[in-house]
Amino acid sequence: MTVSQSDLVLDADAQDLLFRDARTANTFSDEPVTDEQVQAIYDLVKWAPTSMNQQPLRIVLLRSEEAKQRLLPHLMEGNRAKTEKAPLVAILAADTEFHENLPRVFPHSPGAKDIFADPGFREQNAKLNATLQTAYFFLGVRAAGLAVGPMTGLNAGGINAEFFPDGRQQTLVVANIGKPGENAWMERLPRLDYDEVVTTL
Amino acid sequence: MTVSQSDLVLDADAQDLLFRDARTANTFSDEPVTDEQVQAIYDLVKWAPTSMNQQPLRIVLLRSEEAKQRLLPHLMEGNRAKTEKAPLVAILAADTEFHENLPRVFPHSPGAKDIFADPGFREQNAKLNATLQTAYFFLGVRAAGLAVGPMTGLNAGGINAEFFPDGRQQTLVVANIGKPGENAWMERLPRLDYDEVVTTL
C-alpha cells in the first residue's frame, strides 16, 4: 500500500506544525504566553466535537509563582523543575456537572440533562469528552506556534483536593506551555506500524 | 480582551478545515473511503503525544456489510441507520496490554513496562491515552478532507464481547467516516464562553 501526502487535504506546513515537526517540550524559553494566545487557542478548538455538545473540559492556568507552588508537590518528582520554569502551566480537568449547561448548549433536546442524572455515568462522560478536548487543546497550542509538554505523572487526587475542593472537577492531565528552550526534547521515539494499530473487517 | 487570528500561526484554511468549518456528519455520500486515505491519516496522527509513548489506540475498520451488521445491534437505535449507510465505520478502542510494546517504543527506560504491572492502573492509562489518540484521529480524518461522525451512544460491553472476545481491548467511541451527504448536519450548537472554561491563577 502506497502512502502519499496527496491523500491529505491539509497543507504540508500545517501537517508539520501540528504533527510532524511538533514535539513534546521539556524546556522552555522565557518568552511569556499571553492570555490573548490562550483565548485564540480556545476560540479555535472549542469547535471540535463532544458527545451531545457536553464540553466538559475546564482549564486552570497557573501564572503566578504562588499558584505553581501549590501544584508542584502533586507532580512526580521528575516533572517538578521543568514545570516550575515553564512560562505557563495548565491543569486540564473534567467538569462532572457539565450537564447543567445542556439546556443552553443542546437546546433542541429538552430532556438531555436528565440523561445524566446518574453521577457515575456523568463522570464517565465527563472524563471521555474532556480527554478528547484535552487533545484538541494540545493541537491548538501547536496551532499558536507554541510547544506543549503534557504530563500524566501526577497525583490527581492531590491536585483535585488543592484546586477543586468542592469535588466538581477531576484532573486529567497537566501541561506546560511555551516556546521551546535549549535541548527541549528527546530523540523522536518510534511509532507503531499501521498494521499493528488498524484491522479491517 | 481582543482575540485575533494573528495569535495563531496555523493558516486560516487549515483552521477552517480542522475546526471552524468542519462539522459532525450524520449523512454521507456514496464516495468510498480508501485504505490509502486511512493509512495517510494514521501516518500523520501517529506523531501526536501519548504518555510514555504508550500508543494504546487500536482501530477496527468495518467495511463489509457483514462486519457492520455485527456492530449495529450494539448502537443506540438512533445511530443505526446512519451507520449502516456510512462508507466506513471505525471502532476506536484502547489496548489494555499496550505495555508489552514499551521495551520497543520507550527503549531508553528498560523498566517502563513494569510500571504498568497493575491491571487497573494500566486500564486507566490505556483509556486516557487512547482517548487522546481518538481526538487526534478525528482531526486527521478532517485533514484528509473527510467528515467524521463520532458516536458514544453505544453498548461498549456488547461491542467488546462481539469484536474483542479476549478482553484485551476496550471500546471508547464508534465513528462514521466519509464525504458528507445531503443535510449532513444540524445547525451549529453554541459553545461555552472562554470565561466559563478557563480560570487564571
Chain B CB contacts of A18 under 8 Å are 10, 48, 139
What is residue B4's predicted lDDT score, i.e. its pLDDT? 61
* Torsion angles phi and psi, residue B74, rounded to 5: -95, 0
Judged by CB atoms closer than 8 Å, whether chains meet at A5 and B199 is answered as no
Judge contact between A59 and A150, C-beta under 8 A: no
Compute the CA torsion angle B109, B113, B118, B123 (nearest 10 deg): 100
Contact by Cβ (8 Å): A82, A26: yes
B135–A48 CB contact, under 8 Å: yes
Return the number of other C-beta atoms located less than 10 Å from residue A97's C-beta: 15
- ipTM of this complex prediction, to 2 decimal places: 0.96
Instruction: Provide the percentage of residues in chain A whose pLDDT is more than 90.
Output: 92
CA distance B138 to A47: 13
Interface with chain B: mutation pick from A17, A37, A39, A106, highest number of B CBs within 10 Å: A39
Query: Residue B197 is nearest to which of A57, A142, A153, comparing CB atoms?
Result: A57
**Residue A4 pLDDT class (50, 70, 90 cuts):** low
**A7/B42 touch (CB, cutoff 8 Å), yes or no:** no
* pLDDT digits 0-9 by tens, B57-78: 999 999 999 999 999 999 999 9
- Residue A117 pLDDT class (50, 70, 90 cuts): very high
Q: Which of B3, B60, B196 has its CB closest to that of A199?
A: B60
C-beta atoms of B34 and A7 within 8 A: yes
Q: Which residues of B touch A7 (CB under 8 A)?
A: 34, 36-37, 39-41, 144
Per-residue pLDDT of chain B (201 residues; tens, 9 = 90+): 555 667 999 999 999 999 999 999 899 999 999 999 999 999 999 999 999 999 999 999 999 999 999 999 999 999 999 999 999 999 999 999 999 999 999 999 989 999 999 999 999 999 999 999 999 999 999 999 999 999 999 999 999 999 999 999 999 999 999 999 988 888 899 999 999 999 999
Task: Report chain B residues whose CB lies below 8 A from the CB of A39.
Answer: 1, 3, 7, 194, 198
Q: Whose CA is closest to A156, among A178, A177, A130, A137?
A: A130
Name the residue facing B201 among A62, A133, A196 (closest C-beta).
A62
Over residues A20-45, mean pLDDT: 95
Q: Which of residues 108-167 of A touch B (CB under 8 A)?
A: 108, 125, 128, 131-136, 138-139, 142-145, 148, 150, 152-153
Cross-chain residue pair A3–B36, CB shorter than 8 Å: yes
Nearest CA in chain A to B164: A199
Provide the pLDDT for residue B186. Answer: 85
Q: Is this model's pTM higher than 0.90 or not?
A: yes
Pairing state of beta strands A198-200 and B57-62? parallel
Residue A2 has pLDDT above 70, yes or no: no
Closest Cα in chain A, distance from residue B158 (Å): 17
The H or E element that residue B93 is part of is strand B88-95
Give the strands of the sheet with B169-178, arranged side by side: A198-200, B57-62, B88-95, B169-178, B147-151
**pLDDT tens profile A37-54:** 999 999 999 999 999 999
Comparing CB atoms, the residue among B39, B49, B201 nearest residue A1 is B39
Distance CA B119, CA B115 (A): 11
C-alpha–C-alpha distance, residues A95 and A148, integer Å: 22
DSSP E strands in A53-146: the ranges are 57-62, 88-95
Average pLDDT of chain A to the nearest whole number = 95
The class that CATH gives domain A29-177 is: alpha beta
Find, among B138, B111, B127, the residue nearest to B48 by Cα: B138
At residue A186, the pLDDT reads: 85
pLDDT at residue A184 in the model: 86
Tally of CA atoms within 13 A in the half-sphere of B40 that contains its CB: 22
Backbone phi and psi for residue B154, each to the nearest 5 degrees, phi listed first: -155, 165
According to the model, what pLDDT value does residue A3 have?
59
Question: pLDDT at position A139, please?
Answer: 98
